[in-house]
Amino acid sequence: MFCAYILSCSVSMVSSAVSNSFRDCSHFFYMQTPPAGIRGTSPKKICQKFADKLRYATLYDSSRRLPLYSAYIFKKSDGKRRADTPWMYEPQVEKAEESGIHLKNCVKNTQAILDDYTNAIQYERGTLNPDEHQNEPDDKASTYTLTNVVPMVPDFNDRIWTKQQHIVRKRLNNYCRGTAYVVTGITKSGTMIRRENMNRIAVPDYLWSAYCCVDYDHNTPYTERYKFPSFAHYALNGDENNEVVETSVPKLREFLRKSFVNQNFQIFVGDCKPQPSMRTYQTK
């Protein structure tokens, strides 16, 4: 549900729940269990809500004004993007009063605003939960909130990361038969976008993503079958050496544990290895 005030010609506000837990939106996580071991300064847990319906979950670092990850359920789609959606703020991050300029000033204390990107020509807005991984118009629209956005190098976003999102979409479209849980996150670096002589937004060093689909087509060709029930990828957010590395969820965890997350880091319970009672077999 959009709130009543428009802060600029292209930005609205979205209504979401910010709390100390993901209790209200735990169904977006495999086994209703959020990732563990993510480093952040008092991160805020956001149940992203749009048009009176919960759409996905985001862990947000308000001190660096960027999401640490967004978790969502993949919806089979044709990959078309929704181009008519305005960018939205999340007023609940600051628990601000809905009152014009006062709200905008409060919002910018804890999250990015469009003005931060105006002169940062070396970066563009990239979504962690991309609209092409959603199907219904409102699900797509809900991804256009700045609490789901991180600064990406344009060439990396347009040529590398978006291509990988297409690959994952096609794979899950074709071979996932049940629910596909996706978590897409970042690793933080010391680089910041500055505006008015102030550090405004942290720029991710790496982006990473992993999916979990325990109910999949066991007749999938081997070139794709070994990428189930789970698989992952990561890449450097830069102009060079930015090729996507596809890997298993355990190997992604090992890579991130080197310096970016705590040693108890976990994306999916049991690395998305289904229990015997959850396995799906093809009948002859």
From residue 222, give the alpha-carbon distance in Å to each of 18, 33, 42, 218, 228.
42, 30, 43, 9, 10
Residue 6 lies in a domain: no
User: Distances from the Cα of 17 to the Cαs of 25, 46, 61, 212, 260, in angstroms?
Assistant: 9, 6, 15, 25, 27
What CATH code is carried by the domain that includes residue 257?
A: 3.40.570.10
* Cis peptide upstream of residue 229 (ω within 30 degrees of 0): yes
Does 17 map to a domain? yes
In a domain, 236, yes or no: yes
- Angle 264-188-270 (CA atoms, 0-180°, nearest 5)? 25
Supply the range of the domain harboring residue 110. Answer: 11-278
DSSP 8-state symbol, 226: T
In a domain, 1, yes or no: no
> Could you list the pLDDT tens digit for every one of the 284 residues in the chain?
333 223 343 455 555 556 668 999 999 999 999 999 998 777 899 999 999 999 999 999 988 999 999 999 999 999 888 777 888 877 766 653 344 444 455 677 888 889 998 888 999 999 999 999 999 999 999 999 999 999 999 999 999 999 999 999 999 999 999 999 999 999 988 899 999 889 999 999 999 999 999 999 999 999 999 999 999 999 999 999 999 999 999 999 999 999 889 999 999 999 998 776 554 444 33
On whether residue 117 sits in a domain, the answer given is: yes
How far lies 8's CA from each of 70, 84, 113, 144, 255, in Å? 25, 15, 10, 15, 41
The answer to whether position 284 is within a domain reads no
Total of domains in the chain: 1
Query: For residue 5, is it within any domain?
Result: no
Domain membership flag for residue 120: yes
State both tokens at 79. 């990959």
